[in-house]
Structure 1
Amino acid sequence: MLDEIIDYVKFLQLQVKVLSMSRLGGAGAVAPLVTTTATASEVNPNQNPNFNHFLANESSMTMTEHQVAKLMEEDMGSAMQYLQGKGLCLMPISLATAISTATCRPGQPSSPNMSVLTGDVAVKDSTSATKP
């Protein structure tokens, strides 16, 4: 269960990167902004028994990032269909902000930076995800 959650969070981080590429005008524009969650040198295999699993997921995620970036550069429509197949949708930031403002409940912080809404999770930035 925890592995599935971690994989989903990684996918959401990928979605933020993809949307950033679209917003900034291509993969080259976002390269300085893209960071990985950890590299092999930052992870101690003695402290983390799932080290090999982490490396496999990290390389798979990197491959997926490159595939989505290439797809966005070649055909934005296909990229949108691919992302929608994953349960995500692209929308203008202004629309996401309007939805966020209209559905914000008392006691929850409002975020004008909300740029992605999914069926279950609203992604506010590359490091946080909250239930709507």
Structure 2
Amino acid sequence: MSEIREQLVYSEDHEWALKVEGNVVRVGITDHAQNQLGDIVFVELPEIGAAVEAGDSVGTIESVKTVSELYCPVSGTVTKVNDGLEDKPELVNDEPYEGGWMFEIEVDGDLEEALAGLLTAEAYRAKVDE
């Protein structure tokens, strides 16, 4: 069974978001997603400074089984990427909610409104249990 954390919000595309400070959220893929992908061998992340819209493909995640798109759950500007994944993409498998986070984004507009459009832990749990 996949780990789903209560303090996070989730996208339909299996990304999670966590408010870190101000209007900035940290984004990664869920434990469920990394389990589905298998052993991750490469991660392509968005460029710092890139303006992105919610639902945009902003990178790719390559595993031994497949290549999957990385989607942005909110609109804004990319402020930081997890450079550690360049040398250790397996962190996404080992620690999807800690060392395996993908990028941070400064949200355009109202943060709470942007996050309200995502799934709660309970709603995400129901989705993956379907």
Same topology, TM > 0.5: no
Greater RCO (CA < 8 Å, at least 6 residues apart): 2
What's the TM-score once normalised by structure 1's chain length? 0.29
Q: Which has the larger radius of gyration?
A: 1
* Structure 1 or 2: more strand by fraction: 2
* Structure 1 or 2: more helix by fraction: 1
What's the TM-score once normalised by structure 2's chain length? 0.29
